[in-house]
């Protein structure tokens, strides 16, 4: 989809396509809505009254071929209180407008940003970009009338050149979110660990440095915990190391992602119902890959490391068994009680490798780790676990700024004994289902070696079906890319 910025003095009455205007709660019209109301002889105010339109976020009214306008349709979008107007509202407004008309037959959507400020216009462009995401590469018989028709979004602003400049880093962000969503959306027969690593290697064109460690290299490093998960698959496991060097000699920040490209549960096999969703058990690694993509795309002034642990958890005759004991890179031994608690085994070696090699300022890991976090927080919040208040506070602030919700969870030392093993240093699950997300986090904490660390359990937020957020089409979210990019920009760039 093409994004353009158009000067407001040239777009009072756009010809053709669809035009979107904003109305606030209480029926208060934006300036553009007032212009359209006058041009249509009061049709906007009449439509609002007839449709019980209250201006609440997400409410829309459409006028087809409105008299007095050259546009094919006029879309009135509710946007809440005018006192809360800003970039977030502009983003939601443009996204909701796009979702409303995307398959209407209109090829162009004009988004009339109230006030026309360049920064808010840029956020509107980002909203439309994120709303337009669609994974359709395997659809071959879809009827033309159900396909999106909008190919161009023209954002109306007072200063088109300033808006374009403000949009440049946001465009890089949108491209990175798309990359992350594509990875999560791919079917598991296509995106196995080797293919995944190949796609990330291609990001070197952005200026990233990418290394790929295969099973031979990981065996030499002693990564028995990670390798044990993938030993039942005919696909080789991979560890992908991504570096962005934009911060001179500064200490790097590090991000680690769980990348189980398909999770059957292994010998502790999952129920068949819903197992197809386990293609997105690599959502944490996709967020890390997306983060590195945007840092390079916007030339962030920071040194950053992204580590992806990529495996496929399959139940063949060579698969890991419940009762096995593996030795991690740290030297600590792990009794495998449940082979479906595999993500923490992958992260154990990935975390240790990261802190040992790079000595980063902190580590943040992301993983679709536990179903228990969905029971705890529902489908809209990810769980945040951390051993460091400053890092946790920075993540929470970025969460609030980007609308990717986090809720801090405890990591109480009293629960640590729940993962003690009778025959090894630890076991990979706690005692029963109680506190499952907490004991998983405590397991990971044993591999951070005292470094400031945070764990984001995104099992509840990596995939939406259906989605009620206009910037997130149903399916892959790319959760974490925006959040982490915001945190780096706000707190860790030079």
Name the residues annotated as catalytic: 270, 344
Indicate the SS3 state at residue 311: strand
Max CA pair span of the chain: 81
* 211: Cα within 13 Å, side-chain hemisphere: 10
Using alpha carbons only, give the angle 435, 436, 441 rounded to the nearest 5 degrees. Answer: 100
Task: Using alpha carbons, list the distances in angstroms from residue 398 to 401, 403, 405.
Answer: 5, 8, 9
Other CB atoms within a 10 A radius of the CB of residue 269 amount to: 15
CA distance 257 to 311: 12
What percentage of the chain's residues is helix, strand, coil (to nearest 5)?
A: 40, 20, 40
On the question of a cis peptide bond just before residue 466, with omega within 30 degrees of 0, the verdict is: yes
CA distance 346 to 308: 9
Start-end of H helices in 214-282: 215-221, 224-230
Other CB atoms within a 10 A radius of the CB of residue 287 amount to: 36
- Please, are residues 381 and 404 in contact by the beta-carbon 8 Å criterion? no
Other CB atoms within a 10 A radius of the CB of residue 433 amount to: 12
């Amino acid at each position: 989809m093409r994004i353009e910025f158009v000067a407001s003095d040239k777009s009072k009455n756009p010809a053709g396509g669809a035009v979107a205007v904003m109305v606030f709660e209480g029926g208060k019209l934006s300036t553009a809505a007032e212009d359209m109301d006058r041009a249509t002889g009061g049709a906007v105010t009449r439509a609002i009254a007839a449709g019980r339109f209250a201006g609440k976020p997400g409410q829309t009214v459409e006028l087809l071929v409105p008299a007095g306008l050259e546009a094919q349709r006029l879309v009135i979008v509710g946007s809440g209180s005018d006192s809360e107007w800003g970039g977030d509202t502009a983003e939601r407004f443009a996204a909701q407008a796009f979702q409303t008309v995307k398959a209407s037959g209109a090829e162009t959507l004009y988004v009339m940003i109230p006030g026309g400020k360049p920064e808010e216009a840029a956020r509107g462009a980002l909203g439309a970009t994120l709303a337009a995401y669609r994974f359709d590469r395997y659809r071959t018989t879809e009827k033309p009338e159900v396909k999106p028709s909008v190919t161009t979004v023209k954002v109306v602003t007072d200063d088109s050149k300033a808006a374009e400049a403000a949009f440049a880093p946001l465009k890089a962000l949108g491209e990175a979110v798309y990359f992350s969503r594509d990875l999560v959306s791919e079917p598991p027969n296509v995106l196995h660990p080797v293919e995944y690593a190949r796609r990330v290697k291609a990001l070197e064109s952005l200026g990233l440095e990418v290394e790929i460690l295969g099973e031979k290299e990981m065996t030499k490093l002693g990564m028995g915990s990670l390798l044990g998960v993938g030993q039942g698959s005919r696909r080789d496991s991979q560890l992908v190391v991504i570096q962005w060097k934009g911060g001179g000699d500064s200490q790097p920040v590090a991000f680690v992602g769980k990348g189980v490209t398909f999770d059957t549960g292994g010998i502790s096999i999952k129920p068949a119902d819903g197992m197809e969703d386990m293609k997105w058990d690599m959502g944490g690694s996709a967020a890390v890959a997306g983060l590195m993509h945007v840092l390079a795309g916007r030339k962030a002034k920071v040194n950053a490391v992204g580590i992806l642990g990529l495996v496929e958890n399959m139940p063949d005759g060579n698969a890991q068994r419940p009762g096995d004991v593996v030795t991690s890179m740290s030297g600590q031994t792990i009794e495998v009680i449940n082979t479906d608690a595999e993500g923490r085994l992958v992260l154990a070696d990935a975390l240790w490798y990261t802190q040992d090699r790079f000595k980063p300022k902190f580590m943040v890991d992301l993983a679709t780790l536990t179903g228990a976090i969905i029971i705890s927080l529902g489908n809209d919040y990810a769980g945040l676990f951390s051993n460091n208040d400053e890092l946790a506070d920075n993540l929470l602030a970025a969460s609030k700024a980007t609308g990717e919700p986090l809720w801090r969870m405890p990591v109480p030392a009293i629960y640590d004994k729940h993962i003690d093993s009778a025959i090894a240093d630890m076991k990979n699950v706690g005692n029963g289902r109680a506190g499952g997300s907490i004991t998983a986090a405590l397991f990971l904490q044993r591999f951070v070696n005292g470094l400031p660390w945070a764990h984001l359990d995104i099992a509840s937020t990596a995939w939406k079906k259906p989605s009620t957020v206009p910037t997130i089409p149903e399916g892959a979210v790319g959760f974490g890319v925006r959040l982490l990019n915001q945190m780096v920009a706000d707190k860790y760039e030079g």
